[in-house]
Structure 1
Amino acid sequence: MKLYIQSGAVLIGQFLNRSSARGFTILESIVIVAILGILLAIMAPGWASFMTVSRLNAAQAEVYQVMRDAQSTARRNHLTWQASFREWNEVVQWAIHPASLSPTNAVWKNLDPNIRLDAETTLQTSNGVRRVQFDENGNVNGQLGRLTLSGKAGGRTKRCVIVSTLIGVVRQGRDKPQMQDGKYCY
């Protein structure tokens, strides 16, 4: 119990010495910040690529579902329905509507703004609108093709939705290292 015998000034001095030993020096702080900066610089491209792939996968799933919804609506209503796609103000949009309705009068919805239509897209175009029509049986009205999506930030990652047969088979594809029929997404 000699601790109580010491003077208050000595106790304060010992406390200050102990507390200053608990912190970091400026040099140590700079080294930690530099290491964190290097790690972030290494991870940033991988993270950006991961985000692009995630956005493309989500957009591909949405486009696939749009086409399937148009097909099932055509069967259910016994009318020809159309899935339409366009780029409007640099944003890819889609609409499902009866083929008798002009696409300009359809209700358009946006895909992720970081996604664009790729040059590999081969769906028929009419007045700047890419489309695929399904008749009352869910068959395609002769417009086979693909809608290919890529990221606006660049990169070679692509995702596509392909209308591959006249009986209305719609499938999803992704970029491959080898070309097939002049396309990387199949």
Structure 2
Amino acid sequence: MQFNSQQGDQSPADAIALRARCAIAGFTLLETMIVVLLVGLLAAIATPSWLTFINHLQLNMAQDQIYRAMRIAQSNAKRDKDIWQTSFREKDGIVQWSIHRAMGKTCILDQVHWHSLSSTIAIYKDKNKKGKSETTLAKPKGDCSNAGVWRVQFNYKGNTNGQLGQITLITKNNSTTQRCVYVSTLIGALRKGRYHPKPNNSKKYCY
């Protein structure tokens, strides 16, 4: 009885298939490494853009809150035939706002309810490149603990109570990313604005 001396040996076809599988496996590993490297590079590139997007989103949300707060105070003033105001302050590095009845010329009560904006948001208090303030709402001074709160008041007609101005918000890590809300007329017109590279006629960059 003869035995095939090739029995048990790998055929040429099997050898070729094995080499092909090894080559494919090796290429897949290399490809995976390249993909991982590319993902890392893209992540490094995309991270600043993502952070910018988040900052803009939080700033837009803060601007909307400020705008709505002013609108509510204006509506309450017309409803109650009384002076209402929206107040703004920074406490422990957090911007806060409150809607309440007017409480005199200088102070507001501690009992009013304050709402906080994102901790990444600040009120822009510095002067701009033209030497003008971008936050110009009334900020009465007094002896009480709440002295220095920015405010805007509305009378029973919904008109501003003799004050015009704006409040400008920035992100704490980028003062050129700005959003503002301003009272533009004595009849209580409210507008939203954003930073522009060129100032307007009032030498403001947020309009």
Question: Does the CA-based 8 Å contact 1:93-1:110 persist in structure 2?
Answer: yes
- Once the two structures are TM-superposed, the CA of residue 182 in structure 1 deviates from its matched residue by 2.6
Question: Does the CA-based 8 Å contact 2:84-2:100 persist in structure 1?
Answer: yes
Indicate the SS of the match to 2:194: strand
Q: Aligned ranges for residues 66-145 of structure 1 at < 5 Å?
A: 66-100=69-103, 102-119=108-125, 120-126=134-140, 127-145=147-165
Q: Which residue of 1 aligns with 2:173?
A: 153
Instruction: Give the fraction of aligned pairs with identical amino acids, expressed as a percent.
Output: 45
Structure holding more strand per residue? 1
Distance 2:114 2:22 in 1: 64
Question: Does the CA-based 8 Å contact 2:138-2:152 persist in structure 1?
Answer: yes
Q: Which residue of 1 aligns with 2:56?
A: 53
Question: Does the CA-based 8 Å contact 1:84-1:103 persist in structure 2?
Answer: no
User: Which structure's CA Rg is the greater one?
Assistant: 2
Q: Which residue of 2 aligns with 1:183?
A: 204
- Aligned residue identity for 2:162: G
- Once the two structures are TM-superposed, the CA of residue 152 in structure 1 deviates from its matched residue by 1.2
Q: Which residue of 1 aligns with 2:144?
A: none
Q: Which residue of 2 aligns with 1:32?
A: 35
Distance 1:96 1:58 in 2: 18
How big is each residue's C-alpha offset from its partner over 1:68-95, in whole Å with a ceiling of 9 and x where there is no partner? 0000001001110010011111111000
Distance 2:109 2:187 in 1: 24
Question: Does the CA-based 8 Å contact 2:103-2:109 persist in structure 1?
Answer: no
Distance 1:155 1:93 in 2: 19
Structure holding more helix per residue? 1
Q: TM (normalized to structure 1)?
A: 0.84
- Aligned residue identity for 1:123: L
- Once the two structures are TM-superposed, the CA of residue 33 in structure 1 deviates from its matched residue by 2.4
Taking only aligned residues, the RMSD between alpha carbons, in angstroms, comes to: 2.5
Indicate the SS of the match to 1:185: coil
Closer/same/farther in 2, CA of residues 110 and 168 from structure 1, 3 Å limit: same
Structure 1: 5+ residue runs without aligned partners?
Answer: 1-5, 8-13
- Once the two structures are TM-superposed, the CA of residue 125 in structure 1 deviates from its matched residue by 1.0
Structure 2: 5+ residue runs without aligned partners?
Answer: 1-6, 9-16, 126-133, 141-146
Question: Does the CA-based 8 Å contact 2:89-2:95 persist in structure 1?
Answer: yes
- Aligned residue identity for 1:182: K
- Aligned residue identity for 2:136: T
